[in-house]
Amino acid sequence: EVQLVESGGGLVQPGGSLRLSCVAAGCACNNHAMGWGRQAPGKGLEWVSGSSASGMTTSYANFVKGRFAISRDSAKDTLYLQMNSLKVEDSAVYSCAHSPGDAVVVATTDYDYWGQGTQVTVSS
């Protein structure tokens, strides 16, 4: 079974940066697309960013484009999300996700496994 474990969340001031990590196990995860989603209190899960299996193709939700960067290290089976210029409205639980295919996925419903998530709080 695929297991995804996120880390790197925390409390940061507006304008600050965080780097999230997601270690994958139980799969040939380097052959699969992966991504990040987030859920704020009282809101539904929303897609944030996705990466193809190779990492050569990436995609971002408009509300993070230019501020966040997704990457992956195949040697470490790890997916990253570098978050810069953070805003209060970015506060949420961020979770990584595994896709059954290798192409970038932009819909949360098209991922088949999700991690438990890591809390990101942006506040002054």
Predicted confidence at residue 28, as pLDDT, reads 83
Backbone angles phi, psi at 109, to 5 degrees: -70, -15
Predicted confidence at residue 30, as pLDDT, reads 87
Q: What percent of the chain has pLDDT over 90?
A: 94
Per residue in 104-119, pLDDT tens?
Answer: 999 999 999 999 999 9
Residues 96, 115: contact at Cβ < 8 Å? yes
- 10 Å Cβ neighbour count for 114? 17
d(Cα 38, Cα 120) in Å, to the nearest integer? 10
Q: Which two tokens stand for residue 1?
A: 């079974």
Sites in the chain below the pLDDT cut of 50: none
Predicted confidence at residue 51, as pLDDT, reads 97
Predicted confidence at residue 8, as pLDDT, reads 98
Q: Which of 124, 89, 118 is nearest to 18 (CA)?
A: 118
Place of tokens 């089976």: 77
Q: Which two tokens stand for residue 39?
A: 């859920």
